[in-house]
Structure 1
Amino acid sequence: MCGVHLLVNSTGKGGEYIQAMMEACMHRGPDHSSWMEVAQGVYLAANRLKTLDLRDQANQPLVNEEEEAYLSWNGFLYNYQELKNELLVDGVLFESTSDGEVLLRWLIQKGREGVKRLQGMYAFAFVHKKKNQIILGRDPLGVKSLYFTEQKEGFACSSEIRCLLRTDLVPKKLHQEQFSPYFYLRHVLPGATFIRGIQELLPGELKTWNLKGECLDIRKIPLENPAPKPALTEDGFEEIMMDAVLKHIHADVPIGLILSGGADSTLLYQLWYRQTGRVLPTFTIGFQDAYRKKFKDADFASKLVASQRSFHQEVIISPDWFLETWPAYIRDLDHPVGDSASYLTWALARKAKDSVKILVSGAGADELFGGYNRHLAYKKYLHHPVFWNGVAANSNRIPFVGKSFQRFLSGIHPSPQRTFMNFASLSDLPDSLANTLESRYTPGEQPFKNALKWDRTVYLVHDLLKIHDNACMAHGIEGRVPFLDWQVVDWSLSLGEMETRNAAPKFWIKSLLKREGLTGFARRKKFGFGLPIKEWLLDHAGFRNRVLSSVLDLGIQYPEIVPEEWSLLVQRPERYIASHFLLLFNLCVLADWIKENQL
C-alpha cells in the first residue's frame, strides 16, 4: 500500500507541511517517498510500498506527460488489466505495468463518471490543473481510509490522522462526543474521528474541490459489477472464489496469509494450493499451553499445513510479551478501535515483515454470509418477533435465565432494526445513540439482509478493515481481503432474503470446505480472533494492573463525558472483570492512545 497526502495552503508553509505529512507516514511506503507542488499552493505527496512493477517508473506521485494531471493513491485495482486494455484500444500508451498508472490515465480519460468502473480497494487524491479540480475518492466497501480537514488556513487530506496533525492546520483537540459511540460500538461514528476538525471520507464518497480548496461536488460511487454472475450454486460460488483468490494473491513481491484455522482463511489457502500447487507463507497467533484448549487457532492452522512443506510461523503471545510490546503498539496506532484483534494483527505483521510484503486475511466473510452469533440470535428473533417481544417485556419474571439468554432478551426492542443494533453492540444502545444510528440503518422488507448490510457498512468498515490496514501498514505491509472482491460481494447480495436467512452460518464457504475434504474445519465452532482478555485479567497481575489503571485514569481525566451508565465501571473497574472484560480492554486502548498523543 501507500500513503496519500494532499495539501492546499497559501500561507507559505505548504512545502514544509507536505514534507512533514510525508515523513510521518514513511511506514506506509518504505520503498519510496516524494512530494511536489503541482499548482500554486497545491501540494501532493506519496509514500510507496512497491507491490506491482517495482521500477521507478511506477513511483508516486504519478504525473502525465503534459504535467496537467497528478495522482497519489493507495490500493489495488482488481480489474486494472481490463481497464488498461480498454485504454490501449483508445490509443493510450503506458510507461509501466502498475495499476497506479492505469488509474491515472483512466481518470484523465474518463473523469468522475469513469470512477464507477473501478473495482478494487482504493483511496486516491487526483489533481487536474486544466480542469481546476481536486478529486478525492474512496472505494464503496471502505477497505482503505482517507482523512481530510477543511480549515481557514487550508485544506488537506491524508491516509492517516497523525499526518494531518503534523501540519498545524488542526488543533489537537479531542472530539469528546465520540466517547459514547466508542463505549458501545468500539469505534467512533461513521465519518468522524477522535480529533475535532478531522473527518473521514465515507465509503463510496467521491468529492471534488477546486484548486483553492472549495468543495464543488459530492457523489456516491456505486458498487457495480457488470460481469455476468455465475449461478447461485456451489459450482458458481467456487468459480467466483477461485477467481478472487487468484486476483488477490497476485503481486511482484512475496505474499503471506493470516491463517486462523477457521473456515474463511482455510478456504482461501485451500483454493490457492489446489489451483497452483504452491504453498503460501502462513502466520498464526498462538497462546501459552494454559489457554490453548480454548484458543485453538494455532492447532487448527498447524493441522491444515502439516501435510505440506509450507512456511508456517506461529507467533506466541503471552501476557509478559504483551506488556513488553504494548507501548510500541500504541505508538503505531493511528486511531483507536477497541478490538484486541488489532493488537494480534499488529503482532503477526511485525513477524511477517521479515518475509512478505502483503498479508491476505479472511475478513468480510462473516458479514457477507451470516457467520456471527448475533446473526443466529437475530434469525431466532425474526422467526417469532411478536412472541419474543412479549417474552422480553416479562423477562424479569423468568427465573434462572442464563447469561447468553439474558443478553438475547435484553437486546430485543419493538423496532427490529434497533434489536439487531443491540445484538451487534457490546451493550444495549441508549436511546440518544440509537436514534443517531437508525438513520444509517436500511429499512425495508428484507430484515436479515438489512442486518448483514449494517454489519458490512458499519462494523466491518470501522472495526475490522480499519484495524487490518492500520496494523499491517505499521510494518510496511499491504493487507488484502479476497472475500471483498466485488464479484464475491455482488454474488452474496444476489441471494434472496429467505435463502440467506434459512441458510446455516457461512453455508457456502463451509460447503466448499466439505467438497475439499476439510469437513473438520467446516464444523469447527465459531470463535472470535482476540486475546484471552478475561483469563489474563483473572490470572496475571501485571496485565490486570495495566488495564485497570488505564481505565481508572480515563475516568479521572474525563469524568464528565463518560456515559452515565458506565461511571461506576471507570471508578471501580475491578468489579466488572467478569461481566465487561471486553469494555475494560477497549477503554484501556482509548486511554493509552489519548495519553500517547497528548490529547
Structure 2
Amino acid sequence: MCGIAGIIGKNQDGEHLKKMLQVMKHRGPDATHTVSLQSDGFLGHNRLSIIDLNKRATQPIWDHTHRYCLVFNGEIYNYRALRSELLQLGHVFKTHSDSEVLVEAWMAWGTDSISRLIGMFAFAIWDDVQKRLTLVRDRLGEKPLYYSLIHNRQSQLLIFASELKGLIQHPDMKKKISSQALMHYLTFNYTQHHQSIFEHVLQLSPACYLQYDYLSNTSHIHCYWELSKFFQNKSTISYRSAQAQLNDLLHDAVQLQMFSDVPTGAFLSGGLDSSTLVSTMSRHTNDKVNTYSIGFREHSYDESQLSQKTAAHFSTVHYEKTISHLSTDTLEQCCSVFDEPFADTSLIPMYLLCELASNKVGVALSGDGGDEIFGGYRTYQADRYYQKIQYLPMFFKKCLLRGAHYLPTSFSKLSFDYQAKQFFNGVMLSPESAHLHWRKIFSPSHRALLCHEPISIDPAAHDLSFFDQVRDCHFLDQAMYVDVKTWLVDDILTKVDRISMAHSLEVRAPFLDYRIVEFAASLPVHYKIAGTQGKRLLRDSQRRYLPKHVLSHSKQGFNFPISTQLSHSLFEMAYDVTTSSQMATHFSIDYIKRLWIEHQNRLCDNGHRLFNLLCFGLWYQNYF
C-alpha cells in the first residue's frame, strides 16, 4: 500500500509535488521517490513495502521500453499469474514486484489490462509518446484517488493524489467548501465518492479510468466494469452447487490475499464474516493465524467473549484491546486521519484495532463487504417490514409514528426506541427513499433548522439514481446494489483506507474479490436473504467449518457507544467544538444547543447528530 501524487502541466515546480507527498508520508513511510517528465510535469510515490522489499522495486517505475511510467497504490493479487503470461510474451523483469507486472501489462494490453487485474488499486500511468495520463481506480473503490483539472490564465494542468490533504498542498488549489457535499455529509455522515468536500476537487469513481490528453488539454472518463449486469442476469445454479462454488471462490481469494513478504494477520470480531476468513486462513497455513479484536466495557457493545471463543476454536494467536472510556486526545487523533468530514462512530474502534494490529503485522485481512453482497444488514429486514406495513391505512401508520416518539430514550447499542423512530419516520417515504432513510442523520427538517440558509439540494438524489440501474430486480437486490455503490465505498472503505494507512497497515478484503461480488450479485435473492435470516448462503456454506456459536450469532455491527461518551468524558470538549464561533459561520448555534439539552436530559438520543457536528468541527479546525 502506498501514496501516489502527480502534476501534469507546463513549467511546474517539483517542490510542490514533494510537499504533496510529505503530508501523505504515513501511506508509505519506507521510501519516497519522484520522477520528472521533462517539461510535462512530475510523478511521485510514497512506498509501503509489502511485496518484494528490495529497493529495486521502488516507484515511479518505467516499463522496459521507457515509454510508460507508473505510480501505483494497492495490490495486484494475481500478479504472479500475469507475470508468467507476460514472460511468455517476451517481457523482461528486473524485480519480483506487482508494480512492474502492472506497467508491463499496460505496455502489452493497454486499458484492456484493467479487466485482468484481481486486486485493490488506484494508479496513474504516463504515456511519454502520446503525452497522455491515465488514472485508474479499482472496481469497488477500495483505494482512493482525488484529482483536479485546473484552467486559469497562468496554467492548464491536472493534479492528482491518494488523499485530499496531499492535493491541496499545490498552490493552485483553493479550499472552498461545496454546499452539495456538506449537505450530503450532514445527511449521511460522509461525502460521495465522485466529489469531495471542496469545490473543483473530484474523486475518480470506482470501476472507472480517466484519460487526460496533455497536448489537447481534454479528458474523458470511461467505466470498465458494470456490477448491475450481474444483478440483472440471474444464475440458475442450485443452492447446493452455489455453496460449493462460494467455498472455492473464498479459498482462492484468501489464498491470493495471504501472500505477502511481511507478516499477515486478520481482524476477528467473532461474527460470521471475520470467522469465515480466519477459518479459511487456518486451512491454508501450518502456522497459527494472528488475530485482533476490540472489546468494550459497555456490555451492549461488547463482543470480546465471542471473538475469544472463536480464536480459541481456531487456535489463533489472539490480541485484544478493551475500550473503557475515550479521551479527547484519542478522539482528535482518530478524526485527524480523515481529510474530509467523516462521522461513522466505528472509526474509533477501527482506529484502535489498526493501531493494535500494526504493532505485529504489516497486512490484515478483514471481512468488509460480506454484509453488502450477501444481505447481512438489519436495514434489509427494515426494507422487508416496510413492504408489509404499506398495507396498513395511513392513519394507522401515523399513529405508530407518534407512538414511537413516546418510547423512553436509551443509549444502548441498537436500542429499540432509536430503531423504531428511524423506521416509522421512513415508512412515509417511497421504498427507495426509505432504504436510504434508515441511515440518515439529519433529515430535511433537521437541516432546515441547523443551516443558516435553506439549500434546495437533495443530498440523496445521486444515491437514488443507482436504483434506476437495477430497476427490474427484486427490491432487496436493488437495496444491496445501492449499498455497494454508496455505503460500502463512501463509508466502509473510506474508513478502512484512511485509518489503516494512518498506521501504515495494509488491510485486504477477500469478500471484495470481484469474482465473489459478481457471483453473489448473480444469485437469487432467497439464496442470500430468507425471511429474517441474512447471509443465508454464506452461513450454510460454512456449517462444516465454523462452530455453532458463530453460526447462531446475530448481526451486531462495529459501533461505538458515542451517545454515552458524549454525555460524560467527551461532553466538555464536544460542546465547546460544536458551539464555537467557527461553527456559527455555517450553523445555528441555538439549534445545536437545543440538541445538547435534549440529549443530556435523555429526551432524545442525539448522539449521532452531535457526533456528526463534532467531527465536522474538528475537521474544520484542522483545515481552516
TM-score, scaled relative to structure 2: 0.88
Tell me how far apart the structure 2 counterparts of residues 453 and 486 of structure 1 sit (CA, whole Å): 14
The equivalent position to 2:512 in structure 1, one of 484, 497, 511, is 484
Identify if the C-alpha distance between structure 1 residues 108 and 427 changes in structure 2 by more than 3 Å, giving closer, same or farther.
Answer: same
Q: How does 1:480-519 map to 2 (within 5 A)?
A: 480-502=508-530, 504-519=533-548
Quote the Cα distance in structure 2 between the aligned partners of 1:6 and 1:213: 19
Structure 1 residues 545 and 509, CA, compared in 2 at 3 Å: closer, same or farther?
Answer: farther
Which residue does the alignment assign to 1:582? 608
Greater CA drift, 166-175 or 131-140 = 166-175
Counterpart-to-counterpart distance in 2, 1:223 and 1:230: 21
Match of 2:275 among 251, 262, 266: 266
Structure 2: how far apart are the matches of 1:251 and 1:229?
A: 37
Amino acid at match of 1:547: A
User: Any idea what the Cα deviations from partners look like across 1:487-538, whole Å, max 9, x if unmatched?
Assistant: 2111101112454443621112322443224111122232121221122234
Distance, in Å, in 2 between the alignment partners of 1:421 and 1:350 is: 32
Alignment of 1:544-559 (within 5 A): 544-553=571-580, 556-559=581-584
Structure 2 stretches lacking a partner, 5+ long = 408-415, 446-456
Q: What is the aligned-residue RMSD (CA, Å)?
A: 2.6
For 1:162 and 1:385, the matched residues in 2 are separated by 46
Conserved 8 A contact 1:333-1:470: yes
Give the aligned partner of residue 425 of structure 1.
440
Deviation at 1:3, TM superposition (A): 0.6
Give the match for residue 412 of structure 2: none
1:381 corresponds to 2:404: no
Q: Among residues 587, 591, 596, which one is paired with 1:573 in the alignment?
A: 596
Mean Cα deviation higher: 20-29 or 324-333: 324-333
3-state SS of the aligned residue for 2:110? helix
Amino acid at match of 2:311: V
Bigger shift: 119-128 or 295-304? 295-304
TM-aligned CA deviation for residue 465 of structure 1: 0.4
1:569/1:575 contact within 8 Å kept: no
**Cα-to-partner distance string for 1:62-87 (whole Å, 9 max, x where unaligned):** 11233221000111123323322322
Aligned residues: 586
CA distance in 2, matches of 1:215, 1:394: 57
**Alignment partner, residue 173 of structure 1:** 176
* Residue 347 of structure 1: aligned partner: 352
* 1:284 and 1:315 in contact (8 A); partners too: yes
Distance 1:57-1:230 versus aligned 2 partners, 3 A rule = farther
Change (3 A) 1:516 1:173: same
The aligned residue for residue 97 of structure 1 is 96
**Where in structure 2 are the equivalents of 1:53-64 lying within 5 Å?**
53-64=52-63
Deviations 1:331-378 (A, max 9, x none): 333323111222222222222222211122111111111111111110
Between stretches 440-449 and 239-248, larger displacement belongs to 440-449
The sequence identity of aligned pairs, in percent, is 25
Indicate the SS of the match to 1:306: helix
Which residue of structure 1 lines up, in the alignment, with residue 284 of structure 2?
A: 275
Give matches, 1:381-530, under 5 Å. 381-383=386-388, 385-387=390-392, 391-392=396-397, 395=400, 403=417, 404-413=419-428, 415-426=430-441, 428=443, 432-442=458-468, 443-446=470-473, 447-502=475-530, 504-530=533-559
Determine the C-alpha separation between the residues in 1 that align with 2:141 and 2:399: 41
CA distance in 2, matches of 1:455, 1:352: 28
Does 1:297 find its partner at 2:303? yes
Q: CA deviation at 1:160?
A: 0.7
| Of 347-356 and 391-400, the range deviating more from structure 2 | 391-400
Instruction: Answer yes or no: is the 8 Å Cα contact 1:70–1:128 preserved in 2.
Output: yes
The CA distance in 2 between the partners of 1:40 and 1:275, in whole Å, is 50
Q: Distance in 2 between matches of 1:345 and 1:39?
A: 42
Name the CA distance, whole Å, in 1 between partners of 2:389 and 2:282: 44
Query: Does the 8 Å CA contact 1:256/1:282 hold for their aligned counterparts?
Result: yes
TM-score (norm 1): 0.91
Greater CA deviation, 420-429 or 348-357?
420-429
What one-letter code is carried by the residue in structure 2 that aligns with 1:243? D
Distance 2:615 2:79 in 1: 38
Note the residue ranges of structure 1 that are not aligned, 5 or more in a row: none
- Equivalent position SS for 2:90: coil
d(CA) in 2 for partners of 1:210, 1:267: 45
* 1:222-261 correspondence to structure 2 within 5 Å: 222=225, 232-261=241-270
Using the alignment, how far apart are the partners of 1:389 and 1:187 within structure 2?
A: 33
Secondary structure in 1 matching 2:606 = helix
| Aligned counterparts of 1:498 and 1:330: Cα–Cα separation in 2 | 39
2:324 equivalent to 1:311:
no
Are 1:330 and 1:596, in contact at CA under 8 Å, matched by a contact in 2?
no
Given residue 623 of structure 2, which amino acid in structure 1 is its aligned partner? N
Tell me, in whole angstroms, the C-alpha distance in 2 between the residues paired with 1:240 and 1:341: 29
DSSP 3-state at the match of 2:4: strand
Matched with 1:328 is 333
Matches within 5 A, 1:110-129: 110-129=109-128
| Offset, 1:462 | 0.5
Distance change (3 Å), C-alpha of 1:498 and 1:354: closer
1:368 aligns to 2:373 (yes or no) = yes
Offset from partner CA, 1:385-419 (integer Å, 9 cap, x none): 44486753554576877733343221024522112
Classify 1:397/1:173 alpha carbon distance in 2 versus 1 (closer, same or farther; 3 Å): closer
Give the stretch that moved more between structures: 500-509 or 484-493: 500-509
C-alpha separation in 1, matches of 2:566 and 2:79: 48
| 1:537 lines up with 2:566 in the alignment | yes
Does the CA contact (< 8 Å) of 1:230 and 1:240 recur in 2? no
Q: Distance in 1 between matches of 2:460 and 2:17?
A: 39
Deviations 1:81-122 (A, max 9, x none): 332232222211222222111110111111123322222211
